[in-house]
């Protein structure tokens, strides 16, 4: 189906918005009236710009409070409509949206509404324009889609149809099944938006908290299925009012928006994408750093050994069990110090995974990073992290380690088994999009989003995981743009025995994050422990949590650059990430940073 | 009454919070459990720190889901309570808050609740602790203050009383009058928070949107009056969960918080402050600039003349009618260019105005800025703007112009009559506080807050005005911290005839902000104008608005540094500020800035 986006969904000037929509790959746009009014371009110039960009203008919505009003008021409305239809003629837009009236002048009289909408449609026809009448969820007398359709049906005018809007329908709790009773050719337009399930005044909710399909709590795909069954053949158009999107750069938002429509069309069954290839594990995490020494010291103290070195680049492979960390001191090293730059995902079908990612608009990275390198499928996540789809020790597929040459080393320790999870800090404006990316592109499941109190603001965190826990990625975002760099990324390592690993780490000179004594007093109040157990945790800064499935013990290294390591021990099927301990951990990290001036 | 603040209301580490509360002048604090758990200080050290800072510890709240639970669960709760009471003994806190249970284990049995709370109070007594039981608005079985009091009364235990919380009471819509039926000595504690009137899930509302009394929509003072009449003698304690405050620096937030309690006590009639002295007009606006030339050129083109010069400082007085603008090139000039640094408020009693401001914690500025200067009462507003309380041409009071010496000049034009309003950009975290400051300190009325769509985010704007329109200040804030500097401040000048002033300004070489042609097409659709009227507006970039009272015409100069001028013409008692035109104006300013690279 054709895809479209309302300019109000994007930030910036009208021309920035149009360029972003075109670059992302949309077929058309809805022009929001304020964007046109504020633009220095004439309607003809906007039309030309859209044509150059390969965008149709699918809808214009300059009319408010049109119908079911006293006759003199309606006369003024028709006068206004004539002006606006003239603008639309210049713009080359042939569908006008008319939302159900919220005016205190409107009367509860469907026959009058139908009669006046017919008159409006008569006028529209003179300009070659169709009128799409939509029920606002907070419309004064018409607030449901079936009621709006009754009015349209009663009018029986060829240039009058209805516009369906997933937000207005689903926020009212209406059953979208009845959409199938509307003849497809009378559905003139379909606007799509999702929203988180908040109990909030619906007008506020709509104006500020809408999001792209798949990011919220509505079954938008279910609704679209009914609309398709009704025979609708127009575009799927995103109309998303959101405070955050308004501030964000239009380019990435437009890409996220179109990705949500692609995933939606796949769910509805009207588009076919390469099937998801769910990664089964983490092959490696790659750190870039201008100075390998501090990170190598931490890895060494954790019992990792430098097992191999890249044949052509300054990249070391550190290993213990199935946990592999690459330390890259090449030109990719960020100026802002040590950071987590790439993740190797163990993939059953690396090529298929890359094909799906590409179809879902993920930037594909060069398959070879240097001429000598073996080809490796890779894409960029929205936060810039490089994702490699690769295979480790599977004879039927090339092994990514082929580019590495073993170096002589003593055997590694064996307490660390694998990477338990990776925690990635997301850019402020693109948190929800990140979750959608990891779900849609990688086929991971998104868990509930949780708020964590940091001393200097709230942190939102959301995990995306593979079905078997083989891949776990915790996405987090700070409360304000400035926090992008405050909260470090981290690599969590799965241990058999966190106490033993922590002890060895400390004995080897490693610095563990210290936790306050008050935390352990609280643990003593909440749980019962064996003699001496709490004293050990306190000594090593080990935190404790419990859920319905099992127990969780974890501790943290001090931060190196923008990265730290977490040591975790999961027992009995514990499913979480120790979120209950996050406020204490974050405060300890702030305190440590202040101490070291970092 | 004594004043207290919960540490959760402030951002930062526990010690930062305590220092800020003390510096602002609070008498005590409630320690929030997470702040204690995350602190490296022991309870004894926290106690000592508070004592050093002159703060009592008025409340601790480590208990959740205590009452009306099965006996084995209650046994675990008592075990936890013993641990927590021990911490409180070390902390020197003698009141513990127990909120009504939200646990799914809790049963709807008031007698059991009373019996178990009695047992808890028995244990508390051993530690010299009192238990204050409070109804959470979302409590499972006890959710109203009168119900909580019934349970406390039934228990009849000397160490068990109730805690009242304005948010939980007013958010439920409970009538606070019944508070007077509770014996004052059984009200162990009083927590205060206000909130904007949002229709939202009450838990979300409470956790993220509370604000200080006077900033929201609740009648907190009315509630406190009932509590005082009941005979309560404990502290007034602020417990405000707010996402924005968490991110803000603790120091200014604590000052704003205490100011809100002072205004509240005045409203309740339990504290006397110097009476408000409402300013009657704007005596002058002062611009600081490293280079007087660009601003002087604009003022000259607007028909102002340089009428006087400060005797000892590089400050020029530009005048036209009763509009006066000071241009200061002294050391106060900001590095970031031309800015609005001070406002002279015409005050019936400058000394009285300063006394009230000081009583309400406004930093008092030196009365003489230099030795030779006449004394002038001045304070700093929360955004750093200096407010001078002064008199112009009133024989009974010293005239602020005594420091100025007339310079020879041609007569000024006479179309500009006075300063209509001043628009001040507020720091991101302190928007609501700014409104409270202007209301409480200056005695101005705050109008409704409005959201304005800027191309790059939402802008919130709120006007504070004197009763007669003599003083109008528009406070605005961007959608994110980075916007602090994007949106310029401005000086709006009241004209008899905006067209004439705009024409003269342009003829004198002044640059007016150009408005898009589409805007005028829309005006033609919405209103009827005399022949040629719209063409004139379009030529000069004049915007038009209408309200129930009258008409508004306004236009804008290009921005100089961080300041621009607006020319306004109010006819027939128009009350607004042309907010409907703000999106178009903001887009035009963004476009102009891009063109000039500014």
Q: Average pLDDT in the B311-336 region?
A: 88
Binding positions of B are 134, 165, 191, 239, 421, 490, 566
Output the pLDDT for position B370: 67
Residue A167 CB-density burial (10 A; 0-12 exposed, 13-18 middle, 19+ buried)? buried
Considering only CA atoms, which of A28, A25, A107 is closest in space to residue A74? A107
| B58 min Cα distance to partner chain A (Å) | 19
- Give the A:B interface size as CB pairs under 8 Å: 153
| A75 min Cα distance to partner chain B (Å) | 12
Considering only CA atoms, which of A536, A535, A453, A472 is closest in space to residue A502? A536
Contact A53, A29 (CB under 8 A): no
| A479 min Cα distance to partner chain B (Å) | 8
CA distance A427 to A437: 14
The secondary structure of A159-175 as a DSSP string is TEEEEEEHHHHHHTT--
- List b or e across A323-339, with b for residues whose CB sees 16 or more CB atoms inside 10 angstroms: bbbbbbbeebbeeebbb
ipTM comes to 0.83
Q: Is the pLDDT of residue B146 over 90?
A: yes
| B37 min Cα distance to partner chain A (Å) | 5
Contact at CB, A455 and B11, closer than 8 angstroms: yes
Query: Going by CATH, does the domain composed of A281-596 fall within 3.10.20.30?
Result: no
- Which residues in chain A have their CB less than 8 angstroms from residue B480's CB? 247, 480-481
For chain B, give the number of residues: 598
Cα separation of the two ends of chain B:
52
B3-268 against B281-596: fold identical: no
B343-395: per-residue pLDDT in tens?
Answer: 999 999 999 999 999 999 999 988 776 677 778 899 999 888 999 999 999 99
Between positions 212 and 251 of B, the ones with CB within 8 A of A are: 243, 246-247
B518 touches A: beta carbon within 8 Å: yes
Output the pLDDT for position A483: 45
Spell out the per-residue pLDDT of chain A, length 598, in tens: 999 999 999 988 999 999 999 999 999 999 999 999 999 999 999 999 999 999 999 999 998 899 999 999 999 999 999 999 999 999 999 999 999 999 999 999 999 999 999 999 999 999 999 999 999 999 999 999 999 999 999 999 999 999 999 999 998 889 999 999 999 999 999 999 988 776 556 666 555 667 888 888 899 999 999 999 999 999 999 998 877 666 778 898 899 999 999 999 999 999 999 999 999 999 999 999 988 999 999 999 999 999 999 998 999 999 999 999 999 998 766 556 788 999 999 999 999 999 999 999 999 988 776 677 778 899 999 888 999 999 999 999 999 999 999 999 898 888 999 999 999 988 766 777 888 899 999 999 988 888 787 777 778 888 999 988 899 999 988 765 554 444 678 999 999 999 999 999 999 999 999 999 999 999 999 999 999 999 999 999 999 999 999 999 999 999 888 899 999 999 999 999 999 999 999 999 888 877 665 4
Nearest-CB residue to B516 (from A38, A458, A526)? A38
Q: Which of A78, A96, A587 best probes binding to B when mutated, by most B CB atoms within 10 angstroms?
A: A587
Contact at CB, A480 and B479, closer than 8 angstroms: no
Q: Which of A86, A207, A242, A518 best probes binding to B when mutated, by most B CB atoms within 10 angstroms?
A: A518
CA distance A152 to A113: 9
Output the pLDDT for position B480: 57
φ, ψ (nearest 5 deg) of residue B554: -155, 150
Q: How many helices (H) and strands (E) does chain B have?
A: 18, 24
B407-445: per-residue pLDDT in tens?
Answer: 998 988 889 999 999 999 887 667 778 888 999 999 999
Nearest-CB residue to B246 (from A11, A457, A586)? A457
Nearest-CB residue to B518 (from A36, A79, A590)? A36
Q: Which of B34, B37, B450, B478 best probes binding to A when mutated, by most A CB atoms within 10 angstroms?
A: B37
Considering only CA atoms, which of B241, B199, B235 is closest in space to residue B217? B199
Q: Which of A13, A14, A37 best probes binding to B when mutated, by most B CB atoms within 10 angstroms?
A: A37
Contact at CB, A517 and B42, closer than 8 angstroms: yes
Using CA coordinates, name the residue in chain A closest to B483: A247
Domain boundaries, chain A: 3-268, 281-596
Q: Average pLDDT in the B145-150 region?
A: 98
Architecture of domain B3-268: Alpha-Beta Barrel (3.20)
Using CA coordinates, name the residue in chain A closest to B64: A526
A39 touches B: beta carbon within 8 Å: yes
> Quick one: CA torsion of B323, B329, B332, B335, rounded to 10 degrees?
110
CA distance A116 to A124: 12
Output the pLDDT for position A454: 79
Output the pLDDT for position B485: 44
Between positions 407 and 466 of B, the ones with CB within 8 A of A are: 453-458
Nearest-CB residue to B455 (from A11, A458, A591)? A11
- Which residues in chain B have their CB less than 8 angstroms from residue A479's CB? 243, 246-247
Tokens encoding A468: 């078997």
Tokens encoding B195: 């909130």
Q: Is the pLDDT of residue B473 over 60?
A: yes
Output the pLDDT for position A335: 59
How far lies A543's CA from each of A491, A505, B260, in Å?
A: 17, 16, 39
Contact at CB, A201 and B200, closer than 8 angstroms: yes
| B153 min Cα distance to partner chain A (Å) | 29
Contact at CB, A198 and B201, closer than 8 angstroms: yes
Considering only CA atoms, which of A229, A222, A235, A149 is closest in space to residue A191? A235
Query: For the ranges B72-76, B316-320, B475-479, B503-507, which has the lowest average pLDDT?
Result: B475-479
φ, ψ (nearest 5 deg) of residue A35: -65, -40
Contact at CB, B11 and A84, closer than 8 angstroms: no
Contact at CB, B453 and A516, closer than 8 angstroms: no
Contact at CB, B13 and A525, closer than 8 angstroms: no
CA distance A68 to A140: 10
Considering only CA atoms, which of B540, B531, B554 is closest in space to residue B512? B540
- Has A566 been labeled as part of a binding site? yes
Contact at CB, A518 and B42, closer than 8 angstroms: yes
Output the pLDDT for position B172: 87
- Which residues in chain A have their CB less than 8 angstroms from residue B453's CB? 34, 246
Using CA coordinates, name the residue in chain B closest to A429: B480
Q: Which of B201, B217, B243, B247 best probes binding to A when mutated, by most A CB atoms within 10 angstroms?
A: B247
Q: Which of A38, A65, A209, A480 best probes binding to B when mutated, by most B CB atoms within 10 angstroms?
A: A38
Output the pLDDT for position A598: 44
Task: Give every CB contact of residue A98 below 8 A, 6+ residues apart in sequence.
Answer: A61, A63, A66, A67, A117, A120, A131, A132, A133, A134
- Has A165 been labeled as part of a binding site? yes
- Which residues in chain B have their CB less than 8 angstroms from residue A520's CB? none
B297 touches A: beta carbon within 8 Å: no
Looking at every residue in chain B, the average pLDDT score rounds to: 91
Contact at CB, B38 and A587, closer than 8 angstroms: yes
- Has A58 been labeled as part of a binding site? no
Q: Is the pLDDT of residue B286 over 70?
A: yes
Output the pLDDT for position B209: 66
């Amino acid at each position: 189906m054709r895809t479209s986006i309302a300019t109000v969904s994007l930030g910036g000037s009208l021309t920035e918005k149009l360029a972003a929509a075109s670059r992302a790959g949309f077929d058309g746009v809805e022009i929001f009236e304020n964007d046109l009014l504020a633009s220095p371009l004439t309607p003809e110039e906007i039309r030309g710009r859209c044509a150059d960009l390969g965008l149709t203008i699918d809808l214009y919505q300059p009319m408010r409070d049109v119908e079911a009003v006293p006759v003199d008021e309606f006369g003024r409305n028709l006068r206004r409509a004539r002006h606006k239809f003239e603008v639309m003629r210049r713009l080359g837009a042939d569908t006008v949206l008319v939302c159900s009236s919220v005016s205190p002048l409107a009367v509860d009289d469907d026959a009058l509404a139908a009669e006046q909408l017919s008159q409006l449609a008569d006028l529209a026809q003179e300009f070659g324009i169709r009128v799409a009448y939509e029920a606002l969820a907070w419309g004064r007398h018409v607030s449901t889609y079936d009621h709006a359709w009754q009015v349209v049906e009663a009018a029986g005018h060829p240039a009058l149809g209805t516009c369906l809007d997933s937000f207005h329908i689903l926020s009212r709790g209406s059953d979208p099944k009845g959409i199938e009773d509307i003849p497809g050719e009378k559905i003139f337009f379909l606007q799509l938006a999702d929203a988180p399930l908040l109990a909030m005044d619906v007008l506020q909710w709509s104006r500020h908290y809408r999001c792209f399909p798949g990011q919220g709590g509505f079954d938008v795909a279910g609704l679209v299925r009914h609309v398709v069954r009704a025979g609708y053949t127009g575009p799927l158009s995103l109309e998303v009012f959101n405070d955050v999107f308004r501030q964000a750069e239009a380019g990435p938002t437009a890409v996220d928006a179109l990705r949500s429509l692609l995933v939606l069309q796949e769910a509805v069954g009207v588009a076919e994408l390469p099937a998801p290839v769910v990664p089964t594990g983490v092959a490696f995490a790659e750190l870039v750093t201008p100075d390998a020494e501090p990170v190598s010291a931490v890895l060494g103290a954790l019992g990792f050994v430098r097992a191999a070195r890249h044949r052509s680049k300054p990249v070391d492979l550190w290993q213990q069990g199935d946990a592999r960390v690459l330390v890259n001191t090449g030109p990719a090293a960020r100026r802002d110090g040590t950071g987590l730059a790439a993740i190797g995902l163990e993939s059953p079908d690396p090529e298929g995974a890359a094909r799906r990612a590409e179809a879902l608009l993920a930037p594909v990275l060069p398959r070879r990073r240097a001429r000598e390198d073996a080809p490796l499928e890779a894409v960029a996540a929205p936060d810039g992290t490089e994702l490699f789809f690769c295979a480790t020790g599977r004879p039927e597929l090339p092994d990514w380690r082929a580019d590495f040459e073993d170096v002589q080393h003593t055997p590694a320790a064996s307490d660390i088994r694998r990477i338990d999870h990776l925690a990635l800090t997301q850019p402020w404006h693109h948190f929800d999009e990140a979750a959608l990316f990891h779900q849609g592109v990688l086929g991971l499941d998104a868990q509930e989003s949780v708020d964590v109190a940091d001393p200097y603001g709230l942190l939102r965190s959301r995990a995306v995981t593979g079905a078997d826990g083989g891949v776990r990625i915790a996405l987090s975002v700070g409360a304000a743009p400035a926090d992008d760099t405050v909260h470090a990324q981290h690599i969590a390592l799965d241990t058999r025995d966190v106490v033993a690993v922590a002890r060895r780490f400390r004995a080897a000179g490693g610095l563990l994050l210290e936790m306050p004594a008050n935390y352990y007093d609280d643990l003593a109040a909440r749980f019962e422990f064996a003699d001496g157990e709490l004293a050990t945790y306190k000594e090593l800064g080990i935190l404790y949590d419990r859920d319905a499935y099992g127990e969780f013990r974890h501790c943290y290294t001090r931060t190196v650059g923008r990265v730290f390591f977490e040591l975790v021990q999961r027992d009995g099927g514990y499913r979480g990430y120790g979120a209950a301990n996050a406020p204490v951990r974050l405060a300890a990290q702030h305190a440590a940073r202040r101490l070291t001036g970092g």
